[in-house]
Amino acid sequence: MKITCTQENLSYGLQVVSHVASKNVSLPILSNVLLKAEKGGLVLITTNLEIGLVCKVRGKVEQEGAITVQAKTLSDYVSLLPKENIELEIKDQALSVRSSKSKTNMKGMEATEFPLIPEVESKSKHFIKAKDLKEALTAVVFAVAFDETRPEISGVYFNFDKDILTLVSTDSYRLAEKKASLTKPSEKKSSVIVPIRTTQELIRILGEENDEVVVSGNENQIVFSLGDIKLTSRVIEGQYPDYQQIIPTEHKTRILVNTNEFINTIKRASLFCKPGSNDIELKFNQAAGEIEVTAANLQVGESEARQEAKIEGVDNDIVLNYRFLLDGLQNINDENCSLDINTNSNPGLLKPIKGEDYRYIIMPIKQ
């Protein structure tokens, strides 16, 4: 193998892929990146056996070949080189990295020992803008359950239907649903549960641009392709809960409130929660046009904050976990939001006032 790339291209590619490589005691090669020089350039590959990440880097190939070396060390090293051409060559089972003023020889492991990234036979194809997918994932990923006993909710549910992608996450205490537009209508409905780690990698890789992401796959694997980057992941088997049935369709009280003011009011009250508890009490007073948020704690004191709001329907009250409420409020992409309440033992529904693209359901704390 002998190939020349620019520092910018090589460093970008290594930064994209090296995050997935990680220390693995039983399979040390997983901390390596596979470099393959082939017609058209250099291919960089990493995997943690659940996710496979491939990035193509332009380069001038003098001799084809492949080797694996420690991903993080190579990525850090190349990022510190000046912006000039870098020559990569295999010498005595080591990777020689040369630029005008520096050279290094990195110990390698055989490319043939590196796990294969499966080629996925695609049964469906969907198209979405990178920034839209990133925004939608960010709005739901925090509510995924870290519960290994319920694997079907340990990922984000993707549902493609016509020109809409719906993402859903839940940990059974709250549920987030976000809709995003596809750039072309999907040929057929399909749905899949994507592991949380995969969605976190996607958020890291996806930029703020309008570049198109192609999502393809089958019942076992999903593939996200963005320009020269391809992320392949296993999907989670099982049936996602029929979440539509828990979304409240009616309400006794609807609260309309400024999102940021409400966030600050909740944060202030949270300082006075009982140690080890996240409970705050909300009372909705229609005549006064106010939410009263209270918390008390024997050691520190008590807090009572009134938040101006428009209350429609009956006076009402509910006890909520303030962290879960804040998680939802902080993902409302609107100056104002609405909160629908039935009784103090039924879930509340939080959403932006403008648009129906985000819904956040939160279970009350039973007193």
- Binding site residues, a second copy, CB under 8 A: 69-70, 73, 76-77, 80-82, 94-95, 101-107, 261, 264-265, 267-268, 271-272, 298-308
For a second copy, give the closer residue by CB, 105 or 159. Answer: 105
For a second copy, give the closer residue by CB, 101 or 366. Answer: 101
Distance CA(131)–CA(8), nearest Å, equals 23
Structure tokens given for 239 = 């049936």
Chain centroid, CA 202 distance in Å: 6
Closest distance to a second copy from the beta carbon of 13 (Å): 18
Beta-carbon contacts of residue 219 (< 8 Å; ≥ 6 apart): 123, 192, 235
φ/ψ of residue 189, rounded to 5 = -60, 140
Structure tokens given for 8 = 């910018």
Closest distance to a second copy from the beta carbon of 189 (Å): 45
Closest distance to a second copy from the beta carbon of 51 (Å): 24
Closest distance to a second copy from the beta carbon of 321 (Å): 19
Beta-carbon contacts of residue 69 (< 8 Å; ≥ 6 apart): 32, 33, 35, 95, 106, 107, 108, 109
Closest distance to a second copy from the beta carbon of 42 (Å): 19
Distance CA(237)–CA(239), nearest Å, equals 7
For a second copy, give the closer residue by CB, 19 or 129. Answer: 19
Contact between 164 and 179 under an 8 Å Cβ cutoff? The reply is yes
For a second copy, give the closer residue by CB, 123 or 267. Answer: 267
For a second copy, give the closer residue by CB, 102 or 210. Answer: 102
| Cα dihedral value 161, 49, 96, 64, nearest 10 | -60
Closest distance to a second copy from the beta carbon of 230 (Å): 28
For a second copy, give the closer residue by CB, 93 or 181. Answer: 93
